[in-house]
Amino acid sequence: MEKNPIIRRLRPEDLAALSGQSSAPVLVRPSRSYWQDAWGRLKANKRALVSLYIIIGLLVFTFIGPLVWQVDPALQDIDQISVAPGADRGAIVVDAFEAWDGQAPAPGFAAGDGLSLAGQPTTQSVKLQWQDMAGADSYLVYRNNFVPDNVNTLGLPLMQISDPSQRFYEDRLDLRPGTYYYSVAALDAFDQRTGDYQTVVADVIRVITVNEVRTRNLVDDPDALRPGDEVRLSWHPLGTDYLGRDMLARLMAGARVSLFIGLLAPLFFVAFGVIYGATSGFVGGRLDSVMMRFADFVVALPFLLFMILFQVVFGIGPGESGIIPMLVALIILSWPATARLVRGQILQIREEAYVSAARLLGASQNYLILRHMIPNTLGVILVTLTFAVPAAIFTEAFLSFIGMGVAPPTASWGSMCNEGLKTMLTHPHELIFPAAMISITVLAFNLLGDGLRDALDAKMRSTE
Amino acid sequence: MKQEDPSDFVQAPGDRLTRAAGKQLAVYGVAAVLLLTAAMFLLNALAGLTSSAAGMSRMAVDVENNTITSYLRQEPPQMNSMLATDAVSGMVLAHVMEGLLRYDQYGELVGGVAERWQLEGNTMTFWLRDDARWSNGEPVTAHDFEFAWKNLLSPSVGSQYAFILYPILNAEQANNGEVPIDDVGINAVDDRTLVVTLATPIAYFDRMVAFVTYLPANEAFYRQTDGRYGADADEMLYNGPFMMTSWVHGASMRLEKNPYYWDADRIRLDAINFAHMTSDSSTLLNLFKDNQIVMADLGSEMLEEAMLQGWSLNQFMEGTVFYTDFNHRPERLTANLNLRKAMALVHDSGELVNKVIKLPGYLPGKSLFPVWLPGVDDNFREEYPAPVYQRDVAQARVYLQRALDELGLDRLPPLVLLTGDTPVSRIQAEYYQEVFKRNLDIDLVIDAQIFRQRLEKMTAGDFDLVAAGWGPDYNDPLTFGDLYASWNLNNRGRYSNPALDAQVRIAQNSLDMTERMRAFAEIQRIIHEDVVMMPDYERGYVYVTHPQVRGIVRHVIGAETDFTNAWIDAGE
């Protein structure tokens, strides 16, 4: 570094009086209010911003979604139970079902050697016929989704036919388009397998009757349909659940319940907590300690027990929604955390020098509250609120999961998870979608809360 | 902030801090994982020491000790055969006790303690075998039966199943306290002869004595237990193939072969452990996969996996009929016939079973009488096919309109559907909710209750519709046929129809099988035409058994799961 040139040599000009102007650069930037500053910091936080977009997206999904996707979440599409997203929807129109008496196989399906099909296998029914097996006292019909290797792995036992002269069977059980392996095993007089069995492959196609087309409103003119025509079944972008109800519509309906609890409950209990804590902190003294001991008492109350008690007190009969007691229980039991936080904040501000100064200058109580207390606690309150929302959503999901929330047929993400859990291995989409919705929502609210905390409270800024 | 002067650039202190903190966190994380793993093993070892199943084999099949391990669906309330009402007690009792008659592995009625028996007019005589012994070595005598039966009929004992002895002369009166208990027509002539006088000759009494309530009890031992008979493993005497050697309440039970059993050669297992008491199907499936139990019932969502694993699956028709019962009390809307008809016309048991329940083994319900009931020569349902309603929504709406006119309503208020809390009954209730809403605009409110609570509400009549089930007590259509008799307390909807009552009387009192079957057919017709109830399904099970265990039998009547004929085939 060079030495300071000023010290090098002083000249008379240096000691001349300055003109009116200062040569120093003007080090000012536009004055920004607290909120402008906070918003700026929030915008700089990418995680918080993305979370904010997700939450906006969720609100659109919940409130505008049902206007776009006008499907009744309670409508059961019995033809498409537990259908995964993107499944083929084509179906061939056939005549109404009539039970088969085992006579006269369809043309082209004459009885051959052993086990054979007696008609086109459809989702309506699969007709089987077989020849007499030696030593059979009765027959057991099996169905398998996989190729059976031996007599022990024939698959699902569908029906035992105790009359050996009846050598046909019509399967109607939960048929889906795809390949099935039917087997018929001979049983001896003691219902033990003789080891004799035969297998046939059935490629089942999806069919629908005109009547079903009419009740489901699939085409404009169902009477014009003839057997063999192809119709498209109704579309379920996210698949269907175990009763054929549209997952997308149910997710939207569930979001409404989750957001109802998730937004309303925190709003109420944070508001109550703020008033309670602020009063306690501002008044101080004996009232403060009494009020805070009461808050401690409320903290000690068990939430789940109270939920059950409220359901009883509210006279929530079976089959009625437990959402209102849940809301009340959440409000009554969750406020002390906010109250404590706000009380602490108020106590702190009360002792600040600027408050004392304001007092000395003769500021009224109202002025102190409006000018100093509220603005300085607002950040804390806002942060509490954003963290309370995911907690409430999670509580709702948890309670619905254990069956204490909504009553069927109303959907909630928690109850959908509960239902989806049972079919987790075979139809994972029934669990994954609601679980993902809960996770994303809770994460988004948490990250937004985190960002807000950083933005609103300079003291609590994380080191980034 | 922007750094203008490169010489001032230093690494942000925060960065270094983060890195250090990260390192520390990682160390902590590894330590925590290691600690938790150690704790896990420690706790597991501790649990193994204190577990109720301690000392029991943890393997499903123990070839060395000739022992198998299974489960009970729930803890039996007690093992006193005079008080037992539930299926689990019935199943265990069938292993540790033996009545006069029993069902063999083919479901045929054979002699148990009785060697032979004969019905002559009103009198049924049983001759007992002389080698039947209690587990303390004393002989089983006719007095043991006389004592047990008379004891359970006495009003002070309060047996809920006392009514099953009502065919015996004066039994009903004695149970109501109207005549002394000694007037009941049960008489042990000597140690080996039991004479039972019936109120009226009935053709199916031999089938009834195989029921749990007809089991014997040793009087001296019963008195000695001082009211705790059947409450614990050592508070009972056993005369069956097995005896209970341990009963840890709520956790496990162990049965060992009874050396005093007269037909002990027939029994090929040395012991049966019931190491788990749970009915949760996924827990049971996991236990089975873990090779801890020899059999497990499968739910519809587990079938695909079972097929993939290539398990040997079995199917079993349990014999129980499930139906949706209406409340016929006059103040209820469902007392209206047209409303019931409308609902029956949109109800489709085939769709329920094939599309919604999706379990093989379930049969769509068509009648109160299940398919397996015997008729005169063939099965009853073969001889008298059940009339059914085909779904006809247009016709149903006509009936609904008529019902609304009769009731003077514009729109029906919501109806309460009382149902159980099992997965199948919940799905079924939700399906009905939609079916009746979509087709008839009837709102159903689902009232899901645990079994005990549901029974209480059914008795109180606190429902409009109820998902009910009825299992057979003995192998005769009458076990279902008298369900809707106006005097039957199990007629929860209080249906009352003199025409049906008259047919029940015929079925009860006639000795002519053809006449009785005609009466049952008439009952079936009345129930259909009056829409007393809507048949839902006959329940079946798909279950998987351990490949080494053979001869597990499941009965419609008697023990639901019967291990007495089972053996271990170590060859596989």
Q: ipTM for the complex?
A: 0.76
- Asked if the C-beta of B354 comes within 8 angstroms of chain A's C-beta atoms, the answer is yes
Same-domain pairing of B217 and B228: yes
Q: A183 by DSSP, 3-state: which?
A: strand
- The per-residue pLDDT for range B75-128, each reduced to its tens digit, is 888 888 888 877 888 889 999 999 999 888 777 888 889 998 988 888 899 999
Find, among A116, A169, A171, A109, the residue nearest to A139 by Cα.
A169
DSSP B428-457: HHHHHHHHHHHHH---EEEEE--HHHHHHH
What lies within 8 Å, CB to CB, of B162 at 6+ separation is B152, B153, B171, B175, B213
Domains A51-70+243-460 and A92-209 in one fold:
no
Which of A156, A319, A409 has the CB atom closest to B303's CB atom? A156
Q: Identify how many contiguous H helices and E strands chain B contains and give both numbers.
A: 17, 22
Is B350 within 8 Å of A243 when comparing Cβ atoms?
no
Give the domain CATH number at B167. 3.90.76.10
Residues of chain B with pLDDT under 50: 1-10, 52, 54, 572
- Structural domain harbouring B406: 318-539
Chain B hits for A427, Cβ within 8 Å = 301
CB B531 within 8 Å of CB B360: no
DSSP B488-544: -TT-TT----HHHHHHHHHHHH---HHHHHHHHHHHHHHHHHTT-EEEEEEEEEEEE
What lies within 8 Å, CB to CB, of A263 at 6+ separation is A389, A392
- Asked if the C-beta of B437 comes within 8 angstroms of chain A's C-beta atoms, the answer is yes
**Side chain identity, residue B539:** R
Please state the three-class secondary structure of B114-133 as a single string. EEEEEEECCEEEEEECCCCE
Measured distance CA(A141)–CA(A154) in Å, rounded: 9
CA separation (Å) from A255 to A88, A250, A429, B337, B481? 28, 8, 17, 42, 50
Chain A hits for B427, Cβ within 8 Å = 242-243
Same-domain pairing of B428 and B366: yes
Q: B445 to chain A, minimum CA–CA distance in Å?
A: 5
- Asked if the C-beta of A158 comes within 8 angstroms of chain B's C-beta atoms, the answer is yes
Classify the phi-psi angles of B70: left when phi > 0, otherwise alpha if psi is within -120 to 50, otherwise beta: beta
Measured distance CA(A241)–CA(A246) in Å, rounded: 7
DSSP B130-189: TT-B-TTSPBP-HHHHHHHHHHHHSTTT--TTGGGGTTBTTHHHHHTTSS-GGGSSEEEE
Measured distance CA(A325)–CA(B473) in Å, rounded: 44
| Long-range contacts, B217-221 (Cβ 8 Å, 24+) | B217/B81, B217/B82, B217/B144, B217/B147, B217/B148, B217/B151, B218/B134, B218/B138, B218/B144, B219/B143, B219/B144, B219/B147, B221/B134, B221/B136
Scan residues 44-63 of B and list those with Cβ closer than 8 Å to A. none
Is B307 within 8 Å of A144 when comparing Cβ atoms?
yes
B391: in domain: yes
Measured distance CA(B541)–CA(B539) in Å, rounded: 7
- Taking each helix axis from N to C end, the angle separating A429-456 and A34-44, rounded to the nearest 10 degrees, works out to 140
Helix H or strand E encompassing B562: strand B561-562
Same-domain pairing of B302 and B335: no
Q: Residue-wise over B266-275: b if at least 16 C-beta within 10 A, else e?
A: ebebebbbbb
Domain end residue (candidates: B209, B234, B259) = B234
Q: Residue A46 phi/psi, 5° resolution?
A: -65, -40
- Asked if the C-beta of B371 comes within 8 angstroms of chain A's C-beta atoms, the answer is no
- Asked if the C-beta of A192 comes within 8 angstroms of chain B's C-beta atoms, the answer is no
B452: in domain: yes
B81: in domain: no
CB B329 within 8 Å of CB B494: yes
Q: Confirm or reject CATH 3.40.1010.10 for domain A51-70+243-460, answering yes or no.
A: no
Same-domain pairing of B94 and B228: yes
Which of B106, B312, B416 has the CB atom closest to A153's CB atom? B312
pLDDT score, position B9: 47
Same-domain pairing of B414 and B524: yes
Which of B307, B356, B447 has the CB atom closest to A243's CB atom? B356
Helix H or strand E encompassing A299: helix A285-299
- Asked if the C-beta of A72 comes within 8 angstroms of chain B's C-beta atoms, the answer is no
Which of A407, A422, A464 has the CB atom closest to B446's CB atom? A407
Is B445 within 8 Å of A172 when comparing Cβ atoms?
no
Chain B hits for A153, Cβ within 8 Å = 310-312
Chain A hits for B304, Cβ within 8 Å = 145, 425-426
Which of A75, A78, A156 has the CB atom closest to B307's CB atom? A156
Same-domain pairing of B171 and B200: yes
Q: B99 to chain A, minimum CA–CA distance in Å?
A: 24
DSSP B551: -
Is B315 within 8 Å of A158 when comparing Cβ atoms?
yes
Give the domain CATH number at B562. 3.40.190.10
Is A463 within 8 Å of B416 when comparing Cβ atoms?
no
CA triple B329-B333-B339, angle to 5 deg:
115
User: How many interface pairs between A and B have CB atoms less than 8 angstroms apart?
Assistant: 112
Scan residues 171-190 of A and list those with Cβ closer than 8 Å to B. 172-174, 190
Find, among B331, B419, B334, B321, the residue nearest to B371 by Cα.
B321
Is A174 within 8 Å of B358 when comparing Cβ atoms?
yes
CA separation (Å) from B200 to A79, A262, B119, B189, B372? 54, 69, 12, 21, 27
Which chain A residue is nearest to residue B7, measuring alpha carbons? Answer: A1
- The tokens for B469 are 């089930």
- Asked if the C-beta of B307 comes within 8 angstroms of chain A's C-beta atoms, the answer is yes
- Asked if the C-beta of A147 comes within 8 angstroms of chain B's C-beta atoms, the answer is no
CB A168 within 8 Å of CB A102: yes
Matching CATH number, A92-209, of 2.60.40.60, 2.60.40.10, 3.40.50.1820, 2.60.40.1180: 2.60.40.10
Same-domain pairing of B551 and B535: no
CA triple B392-A81-A223, angle to 5 deg:
45
CA triple B292-B294-B297, angle to 5 deg:
105
Q: B204 by DSSP, 3-state: which?
A: coil
Same-domain pairing of B480 and B563: no
Residues B13, B18, B24, B29, Cα dihedral to 10°: 170
- Asked if the C-beta of B301 comes within 8 angstroms of chain A's C-beta atoms, the answer is yes
Is B429 within 8 Å of A81 when comparing Cβ atoms?
no
- Asked if the C-beta of A156 comes within 8 angstroms of chain B's C-beta atoms, the answer is yes
Measured distance CA(B508)–CA(B482) in Å, rounded: 9
pLDDT score, position A316: 65
Residue with token string 């014997």 = B216
- The tokens for A369 are 């509250």
Scan residues 11-30 of B and list those with Cβ closer than 8 Å to A. 14, 17-18
Adjacency order of strands within the sheet including A90-94: A207-209, A90-94, A230-232
Give the domain CATH number at B487. 3.10.105.10
List, in sequence order, every residue forming a beta bridge with A183; answer none if it has no partner: A142, A199
Q: A284 by DSSP, 3-state: which?
A: coil
Kindly state the greatest CA–CA separation across chain A.
132
Would you write out chain A's pLDDT as a tens digit for each of its 464 residues? 556 665 667 788 778 877 766 666 666 667 777 777 788 888 888 888 999 999 999 999 988 988 888 888 888 887 788 888 877 778 888 888 877 877 777 777 776 777 888 888 888 888 888 888 877 888 888 888 888 888 878 888 888 887 778 888 888 888 888 899 998 888 887 777 787 888 888 898 888 888 888 877 777 777 777 777 888 888 888 888 888 888 999 999 989 888 888 889 999 999 999 889 888 888 888 999 999 999 999 988 888 888 778 777 776 666 667 788 888 888 888 899 889 988 988 888 888 888 889 889 988 888 888 888 877 888 888 888 888 888 888 888 888 887 777 777 788 888 888 888 877 877 888 899 999 999 999 899 889 888 888 887 655 544 44
Residues A424, A429, A430, A434, Cα dihedral to 10°: 110
Chain A hits for B433, Cβ within 8 Å = 74, 408-409
Same-domain pairing of B283 and B399: no
Chain A hits for B106, Cβ within 8 Å = 190-191
Which chain A residue is nearest to residue B308, measuring alpha carbons? Answer: A146
DSSP A111: -
B98: in domain: yes
Q: How many domains does chain B have?
A: 3
Same-domain pairing of B135 and B44: no
pLDDT score, position A462: 43
Measured distance CA(B130)–CA(B126) in Å, rounded: 13
Same-domain pairing of B342 and B477: yes
pLDDT score, position B455: 82
Same-domain pairing of B115 and B192: yes
Is B430 within 8 Å of A408 when comparing Cβ atoms?
yes
Which of B361, B423, B433 has the CB atom closest to A409's CB atom? B433
Per-domain boundaries in chain A: 51-70+243-460, 92-209
pTM of the model: 0.77
Chain A hits for B431, Cβ within 8 Å = 76, 243
Q: B398 to chain A, minimum CA–CA distance in Å?
A: 18
Adjacency order of strands within the sheet including B186-190: B114-120, B123-128, B193-197, B186-190
Query: B5, B105, B304, B390: which to substitute to probe chain A, counting the most A Cβ within 10 Å?
Result: B304
Query: A29, A162, A174, A406: which to substitute to probe chain B, counting the most B Cβ within 10 Å?
Result: A174
